[in-house]
Amino acid sequence: MTERTGRRCCLGCDFSTQQVKIVAVDEELNVFYEDSVHFDRDLPEFGTQGGVHVHKDRLTVTSPVLMWVQALDLILEKMKASGFDFSQVLALSGAGQQHGSVYWKIGASLALSRLSPALPLHQQLQDCFSISDCPIWMDSSTTAQCRQLEAAVGGARALSCLTGSRAYERFTGNQIAKLFQRNPEAYANSERISLVSSFAASLFLGGHSPIDYSDGSGMNLLQIQEKVWSQACLDACAPNLEEKLGSPVPSCSVVGAISSYYVQRYGFLPTCQVVAFTGDNPASLAGMRLEEGDIAVSLGTSDTLFLWLQEPLPALEGHIFCNPVDTQQYMALLCFKNGSLMREKIRDESASGSWNKFSKALQSTEMGNNGNVGFYFDVMEITPEIVGRHRFNAENTEVSAFPGDVEIRALIEGQFMAKRIHAEGLGYRVMPKTKILATGGASHNKDILQVLADVFGAPVYVMDTTSSACVGSAYRAFHGLAGGAGVAFSEVVKSAPHPSLAATPRPGASQVYEALLPRYAELEQRVLSGAQRPLE
Ligand SMILES: Nc1ncnc2c1ncn2[C@@H]1O[C@H](COP(=O)(O)OP(=O)(O)O)[C@@H](O)[C@H]1O
Ligand SMILES: O=C(CO)[C@@H](O)[C@H](O)COP(=O)(O)O
């Protein structure tokens, strides 16, 4: 953080799984303010772990909507207390964890438009939601609704061609269908259904914000080529859904001016523009200024891998989303649920809770881990659908445990081999000019990035900030301000700082992993088919 006054800027914020983060980026595209509110630590009254509540069935996962509202109150108060000059903010945009849904009760729009600047948001919006616990991306309780949706449109492949993905439990259409089936009254009482991203934009707008094309692609409801809701999908999920969703808009649209609430309470100018919010992964694509051929790996609560695509090539694995910075283009995304929280568990079990010791274990073990390979999926994985821990020695025999250091390397190598194998399944190939852009909390860890470089045989770059979704949101705000769809995003961000090199593949890495990758793929198939040999 440097000076806080007198710098015209755009704000970018991110409502992610574990926290709300915010950055301010000046007109030279330098980040000069960063802050965050961590749900478990800063809002303990909501009793979340990792920002969520896992329900008794272990499948349903929700987050309290008022926790997100209160986090926005807190972060803006922190900025105000630090002397941040809100009158310099030209525009703002933001991101949200993808797929999660918020149900605004009838009358919420009126309440949003009449906010009193004397009170924090959470005190005024308490009665504005028809359900207080929102389903989020970690939820996997909607298998029945997924099968119903696929059957309604002619099967998984047909749904993927239409919406960019086969039916996935966390995708919002299936979550809405479950809510309608289980709690029709709450559904009927909802005047609007938002994604986490458009919900957060609504808080700034003082009215319902539209859903943008890119985050809207994670719902199993949007026709990604035509960019309209699919009537067949809407009808298969719930009645009158179109009116509750509103029309989707291009991701670079200005959706309105900031609500007078923020002008009076914090000193924003009434001219401050709100650019449509989008999903955290699409926002990261913008923040990392991804170019064709590059690959982005986000190591946040979830691990994701994404690419820029010119043509949509829908498949039965992975997702195609509309591109957040160019309405004619697309992005491909793979999501791995067992990301940072799984790494934290193994850190606690095998490295006494210390990232330092975790790193030392990576440094002291050999590339290829002497043939020891592991699968660590404490929660049902998305890519591929496996649950449990499975460890194999160099003879491909399943074993029940590894020594601590071997366990840590097996976890990290396994996570990155899975990413490479599944990316190649989508047609992606590592080329001599391939750059890997890493982001998210675990990209702080150089030893983890070294394994990433070794497994992919490509250099890994990082940005100054690990919060590329926030920075991408601020860049998108500048893009929206400059005219949005009519202006190339790359032009708007051309002076942004370049990512810096964090790791290059070590000598011998390609031989090690060329041998190990096919073995990992075979073992994954073995685990998937349940055809494992008996334990040692
Ligand atoms: N030095 C580190 N090594 C590995 N992982 C780390 C390190 N520092 C933070 N993390 C991980 O980063 C995660 C949070 O990442 P972040 O991208 O902020 O999450 P999200 O945006 O999903 O809330 C934490 O759960 C933690 O496990
Ligand atoms: O489900 C997905 C993407 O499809 C997740 O990547 C969520 O978008 C959560 O993001 P993080 O909070 O882990 O960044």
List pLDDT tens digits, range 312-360: 888 899 999 999 999 999 999 999 999 999 999 999 999 999 999 999 9
Ligand closest to CA 14 = 1
Mean pLDDT over 353-378 rounds to 98
pLDDT at 472 (0 to 100):
98
In a domain, residue 89? The reply is: yes
**CB burial of residue 404 (10 Å; 0-12, 13-18, 19+):** middle
The answer to whether residues 123 and 247 belong to one domain is yes
User: How many other CB atoms are found less than 10 A from the CB of residue 117?
Assistant: 12
The answer to whether residues 277 and 294 belong to one domain is no
Take atom 6 of ligand 2 and give the residue whose Cα is closest. 302
Cis peptide before 135 (omega within 30 of 0): no
Q: What is the pLDDT of residues 244-259, one digit of tens each?
A: 999 999 999 999 999 9
**Ligand 1 contact, 493 CB (< 6 A):** no
Classify residue 248: in a domain, yes or no: yes
Over residues 400-451, the pLDDT tens digits come to 999 999 999 999 999 999 999 999 988 888 888 899 999 999 999 999 999 9
Question: Do 268 and 301 have their domain in common?
Answer: no
Let me know whether 263 and 347 are in one domain. Answer: no
Query: Domain boundary residue among 281, 311, 327?
Result: 281
Whose CA is closest to atom 9 on ligand 2?
A: 97
Residue 482 lies in a domain: no
Percent residues over pLDDT 90 in the chain: 91
Q: Which ligand is nearest to the CA of 171?
A: 2
Mean pLDDT for 47-69 is 97
- Using alpha carbons, list the distances in angstroms from residue 165 to 171, 221, 242, 523: 9, 10, 20, 26
If pLDDT is split at 50, 70 and 90, which confidence band does 466 have? low
376 lies in a domain?
Answer: yes
Domain of 140?
A: 9-281
| Per-residue pLDDT at 536 exceeds 60 | no
Task: Write down the pLDDT at residue 531.
Answer: 47
Structure tokens at 205: 């707008």
Of the candidates 227, 247, 281, which is a domain's last residue? 281
Name the percent of the chain lying above pLDDT 70. 98
Q: Token pair for residue 118?
A: 């004397």
Domain boundary among 219, 246, 281: 281
Ligand 1 nearest atom to the CA of residue 439, by list position: 17
Pocket residue to mutate for ligand 1, from 34, 68, 301, 346, most atoms within 8 A of Cβ: 301
Mean pLDDT, rounded, for 529-535: 55
Backbone angles phi, psi at 282, to 5 degrees: -55, -40
Q: Where are the alpha helices (H) located in 14-87, listed in sequence order?
A: 39-42, 65-81
440 lines ligand 1 (CB under 6 A): yes
Residue 68, pLDDT score = 98
Instruction: Supply 74's token pair.
Output: 């807190």
- Cβ within 8 Å of residue 220, ≥6 positions away: 149, 159, 163, 165, 167, 168, 171, 172, 173, 174, 233
Question: Alpha-carbon distance 205 to 164, whole Å?
Answer: 30
CATH classification at residue 368: 3.30.420.40
Q: Is the CB of 96 under 6 A from ligand 1?
A: no
Query: Does pLDDT of 2 surpass 50?
Result: no
Q: Is the CB of 32 under 6 A from ligand 1?
A: no
Task: Please indicate, yes or no, whether residues 45 and 156 belong to a single structural domain of this protein.
Answer: yes
Let me know whether 182 and 166 are in one domain. Answer: yes
Contacts of 421 (CB under 8 A, 6+ apart): 517, 520, 521, 524
- Establish whether this prediction's ipTM goes over 0.95: yes
Does 450 share its domain with 381? yes
Query: Which residue is closest in CA terms to ligand 1's atom 27?
Result: 340
Say whether pLDDT at 291 is over 90: no
pLDDT one-digit tens code per residue, 331-341: 999 999 999 99
Q: Please tell me whether residues 393 and 451 are part of one structural domain.
A: yes
Tell me, yes or no, whether 172 and 239 share the same domain.
yes
Q: Which atom of ligand 1 lies at the shortest distance from residue 359's CA?
A: 3
Average pLDDT over residues 208-222: 98
Classify residue 523: in a domain, yes or no: yes
Q: Which ligand has the shortest distance to the CA of 280?
A: 2
* 392 Cα to the center of ligand 1, angstroms: 27
Report CA(14)–ligand 1 centroid distance (Å). 14
220 and 368 fall within a common domain: no
Whether 96 and 14 have beta carbons less than 8 Å apart is answered as yes
In this structure, the answer to whether residues 265 and 305 fall within a common structural domain is no
| Ligand 1 atom closest to Cα of residue 343 | 27
pTM (two decimals): 0.95
Q: Is residue 87, in this structure, part of any structural domain at all?
A: yes
Lowest mean pLDDT among 108-117, 234-243, 403-412, 527-536: 527-536
Same-domain check for residues 303 and 201: no
Answer whether residue 249 is part of any domain.
yes
Average pLDDT, the chain: 95
Contacts of 64 (CB under 8 A, 6+ apart): 46, 48, 53, 132, 133, 134
Q: What is the pLDDT of residues 66-103, one digit of tens each?
A: 999 999 999 999 999 999 999 999 999 999 999 999 99
pLDDT over 60 (residue 5):
no
Is 200 a domain residue?
A: yes
Q: What is the pLDDT of residue 533?
A: 42
R_g of the chain computed on alpha carbons? 22
Q: How many independent structural domains does the chain possess?
A: 2
Ligand 2 binding pocket (C-beta < 6 A) is 16-17, 97-99, 137, 170, 218, 279-281, 300-302, 304, 333, 335
